[in-house]
């Protein structure tokens, strides 16, 4: 599906259907011209009135905030996607910033149009081929064509990156092994001249003493891969390193998950998949950062060769870890990957992304990611900038009482907490043990366990993988780049 900007009045654009937003209950606006006496707000249509005979759909929207726009265009798209129409038109609804408003509206359309239908014998493809946006504005603003076009272009890039991540996460575990992830990363580097890829196998992991990562892999028939992608811009403001949890399947290992909890664990590779999407998006947008993605790819399986509760692992950093539960495997893989990322890449900003804990989902709900780290400034800056993407983020603070809970009698630390409470934060504190002093304030941990996989479709997210983390991080980086540019002018 394509979205085009048309420099004509909305009435002069030919299309099979029209979308009209009713903003802040303003039924007397010139765009809302044929509702007559119809009481839109008593009508039980959840803010949507679809009139196929008039080839129009009205969608109520509170205000022109970015997320309201994004959700409204997704709602409109979802309501008309089954109709036999090829083209749709909509006026311009721009809030404070034209570029960002266009970006948000177009993201809503493109993200909502995503489908994973590879395994359906009858593939229902989207019928809508193009969406035409008029430059005629709701507030009669003069729309700067170049700004609007940049917004539309960015939305296409962000949606492509998000949908690339969604495809990886939705792929089944039989197909999507660590080797397949390595192949996808390699292909990404072959498609973009400014992306490089290095793939490290089990022998390399052994030579690097990445024993925690290797332990998680032990009972899998698929060898592990440490995947390193690098995007080089023309000019770099900062070296940013993303580390992603890439559990292509998490059965729980010998501390086996119950059947209901194991289902959807193909999505335990969401952190790594998001890091790949970010590299792709950043390269396409030509963001001024040197960006690395370090992906720890393995399965967590059962078998005679499995690592066991009671084992003690000596990690790459030298810290010893008592394994009390083999289902707390993500932090073991990340411990070694984070240590590798620091010593090999010397990051100026280090962000790990992981579907790390069920506790984060219990605490924050299925829509919100947890943001952790040691720098209050960095965490709140990330939350503020990244929230503009529409992703929900909450900062979770570490404290010394929770730190006590991962002490071990036999090793330096235990891989699980001694308490049933505070599991998202104790997992974050576990990772902090592997962050060296000089990187403490430059590190963020994002627990995306809640939003990464959507059980029931909402807004612009169909059921299945959401691509959580991709938009949040790309918006954050875009804002950092803009701030830098402003500072220079």
Q: Which residues are catalytic?
A: 257, 331
Give me the least distance between CB of 344 and ligand BES, in Å please.
Answer: 25
Other CB atoms within a 10 A radius of the CB of residue 161 amount to 26
Q: Residues 6 or more apart from 428 whose CB is under 8 A from it? A: 356, 370, 372, 373, 396, 398, 445, 447
Burial of 431 (0-12, 13-18, 19+ CB in 10 A): buried
**Three-state DSSP class for residue 273:** helix
Q: Is 184 annotated as a binding residue?
A: no
Please name the residue ranges forming H helices in 269-417. 270-285, 330-345, 358-364, 376-386, 400-403
**Given 173, 330, 347, 390, the residue binding Zn ion (CB under 5 A):** 330
| Residue 320 partner contact from ligand BES, Zn ion, none using kind-dependent CB cut-offs of 5 to 8 Å | none
Q: Is 245 annotated as a binding residue?
A: yes
Verify binding: residue 171, Zn ion, rule CB under 5 A: no
Give me the least distance between CB of 251 and ligand BES, in Å please.
Answer: 10
Q: Is 268 annotated as a binding residue?
A: yes
Give, as one character, the DSSP assignment of residue 461: B
Interface residues with ligand BES (CB under 6 A)?
250, 268, 325, 327-330, 355-359, 361, 416, 423, 449
- Site for Zn ion (CB under 5 A): how many residues? 6
| Nearest residue to the partner ligand BES, using Cβ | 358
**Given 167, 171, 250, 352, the residue binding Zn ion (CB under 5 A):** 250
**Between 188 and 416, CB nearer to ligand BES:** 416
**Between 92 and 369, CB nearer to ligand BES:** 369
* Phi and psi angles of residue 399, each rounded to the nearest 5 degrees, phi first: -150, 160
**Torsion sign across C-alpha atoms 356, 227, 182, 302:** negative
Task: List residues bridging with 195 in a β-sheet.
Answer: 231
**Between 1 and 265, CB nearer to Zn ion:** 265
Q: Is 153 annotated as a binding residue?
A: no
Q: How many CA atoms lie within 13 A of 487 on its CB side?
A: 7
**Between 105 and 323, CB nearer to Zn ion:** 323
Give me the least distance between CB of 424 and ligand BES, in Å please.
Answer: 8
Give me the least distance between CB of 11 and ligand BES, in Å please.
Answer: 49
Q: Is 336 annotated as a binding residue?
A: no
**Between 128 and 328, CB nearer to ligand BES:** 328
Give me the least distance between CB of 211 and Zn ion, in Å please.
Answer: 18
CB of 349 within 8 A of CB of 411? no
CB of 387 within 8 A of CB of 393? yes
Nearest partner of 296 among 361, 355, 231, judged by Cα:
355
CB of 128 within 8 A of CB of 113? yes
The piece of 39-47, 68-76, 262-270, 438-446 that touches Zn ion (CB under 5 A) is 262-270
Length of the chain: 489
| Residue 282 partner contact from Zn ion, ligand BES, none using kind-dependent CB cut-offs of 5 to 8 Å | none
Report the alpha-carbon distance of residue 119 to residue 364 in Å, rounded: 32
**Given 18, 107, 136, 268, the residue binding Zn ion (CB under 5 A):** 268
- Note the residues at the interface with Zn ion (CB under 5 A): 247, 250, 268, 327, 329-330
Annotated binding-site residue numbers: 245, 250, 268, 327, 329
Annotated binding-site residue numbers for Mn(2+): 245, 250, 268, 327, 329
């Amino acid at each position: 599906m394509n979205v085009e900007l048309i420099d004509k009045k909305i009435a002069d654009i030919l299309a099979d259907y029209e979308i009209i937003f009713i903003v802040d209950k303003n039924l007397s606006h010139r765009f809302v011209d044929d509702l007559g006496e119809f009481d839109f707000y008593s009508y039980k249509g959840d803010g949507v009135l679809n009139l196929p005979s008039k080839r129009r759909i009205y969608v109520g929207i509170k205000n022109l905030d970015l997320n309201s726009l994004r959700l409204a265009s997704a709602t409109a798209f979802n309501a008309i996607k089954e109709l036999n129409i090829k083209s749709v038109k909509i006026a311009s609804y721009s809030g404070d910033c034209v570029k960002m408003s266009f970006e948000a509206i177009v993201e809503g359309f493109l993200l909502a149009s995503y489908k994973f239908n590879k395994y359906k014998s009858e593939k229902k493809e989207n019928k809508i081929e193009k969406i035409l946006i008029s430059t005629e504005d709701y507030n009669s603003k003069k729309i700067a064509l170049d700004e609007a076009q940049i917004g539309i272009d960015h939305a296409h890039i962000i949606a492509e990156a998000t949908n690339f991540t969604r495809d990886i996460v939705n792929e089944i575990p039989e197909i999507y092994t660590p080797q397949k992830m390595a192949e996808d990363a390699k292909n990404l580097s072959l498609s973009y001249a400014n992306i490089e890829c290095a793939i490290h196998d089990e022998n390399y992991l052994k030579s690097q003493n990445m024993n925690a990562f290797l332990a998680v892999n032990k009972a899998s028939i698929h060898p592990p891969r440490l995947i390193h992608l690098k995007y080089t811009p023309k000019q770099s403001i900062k070296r940013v390193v993303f580390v992603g949890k890439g559990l292509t399947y998490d059965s729980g290992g010998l501390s086996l998950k119950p059947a209901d909890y194991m289902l959807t664990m193909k999505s335990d590779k969401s952190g790594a998949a998001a890091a790949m999407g970010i590299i792709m998006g950043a390269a396409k947008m030509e963001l001024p950062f040197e960006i690395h993605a370090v992906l720890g790819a393995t399965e967590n399986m059962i078998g005679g060769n499995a690592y066991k509760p009671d084992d003690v692992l000596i990690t790459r950093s030298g810290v010893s870890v008592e394994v009390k539960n083999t289902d707390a495997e993500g932090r073991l893989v990340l411990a070694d990957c984070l240590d590798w990322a620091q010593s090999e890449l010397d990051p100026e900003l280090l962000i790990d992304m992981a579907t790390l804990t069920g506790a984060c989902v219990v605490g924050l709900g299925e829509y919100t990611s947890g943001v952790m780290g040691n720098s209050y400034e960095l965490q709140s800056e990330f939350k503020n900038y990244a929230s503009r993407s529409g992703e929900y983020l909450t900062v979770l603070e570490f404290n010394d009482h929770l730190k006590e809970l991962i002490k071990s009698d036999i090793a330096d630390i235990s891989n699980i907490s001694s308490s049933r409470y505070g599991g998202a934060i104790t997992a974050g504190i576990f990772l902090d043990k592997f962050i060296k002093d000089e990187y403490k304030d430059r590190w963020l941990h994002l627990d995306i366990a809640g939003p990464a996989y959507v059980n029931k479709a909402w807004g612009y997210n169909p059921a299945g993988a959401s691509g959580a983390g991709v938009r949040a991080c790309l918006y954050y980086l875009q804002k950092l780049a803009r701030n830098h540019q402003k500072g220079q002018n």
